[in-house]
Amino acid sequence: MKKLLITIMLSLSSLAYGNSLKSANPRHLVRVGWGDMLFESMAFPSAGLDRGGKGYTGHLFAEYQYRFTRVVSVGAQLDFQGIYRAEMNDYDLTFLPTVRFTYLRTRMVQMYSGVGAGLLFAFDNAGGREFVPALNLNFAGVQLGEGPLTIGFELGLLNALTSPHNIYMAGARLVSLSLNYQF
């Protein structure tokens, strides 16, 4: 998984280097990133490396955004996570159509908030499968950099549940980091 992420980042870097487009108002944004698994590590402590489990992937995600106005962008995000325990491996694949609201846009800094609502596909290595509604709330995001290649940092919550007794994620992905390519 690390090799795939490095390959994607190097590909984006070479695109940015080779791109002579100096648009001051790029409309397209592609991001790849990683988010924490605080909820999952608390809900499944047996998967922790210090307790004999195998571990977690963290939230690996990719997103595309199209900017309609200086404030509103729409897009879609795909998020994957894995929880590897001694007895079973659990996986979550989440698809979220998203809306982003940019409230500060300078040459080097963009600040934004957003929301995404979609579907989580939960599955495991024992054949279990389930579809669950998912909601991502991005309270505060910052995109730093000038030119096509930037970095991002977000504070938010990724949630997926069917009832108070059937929770897949509640406050997952509190912190996210991303590498962004805009054109």
Q: Using CB atoms within 10 A of its CB, is residue 68 exposed (0-12), middle (13-18) or buried (19+)? A: exposed
pTM: 0.81
Tens of pLDDT, residues 102-142: 999 999 999 999 999 999 999 999 999 999 999 999 999 99
Tens of pLDDT, residues 32-48: 999 998 777 777 665 55
What pLDDT sits at residue 43? 72
C-alpha–C-alpha distance, residues 24 and 96, integer Å: 28
What pLDDT sits at residue 20? 39
Other beta carbons within 10 angstroms of residue 61's beta carbon come to 22
What pLDDT sits at residue 7? 64
Tens of pLDDT, residues 2-43: 666 666 666 655 554 544 344 568 999 999 999 998 777 777
C-alpha–C-alpha distance, residues 162 and 134, integer Å: 9
Tens of pLDDT, residues 156-180: 999 998 888 888 888 899 999 999 9
Tens of pLDDT, residues 44-87: 665 555 555 678 899 999 999 999 999 999 999 999 999 887 78
Tokens, residue 56 = 């977690």
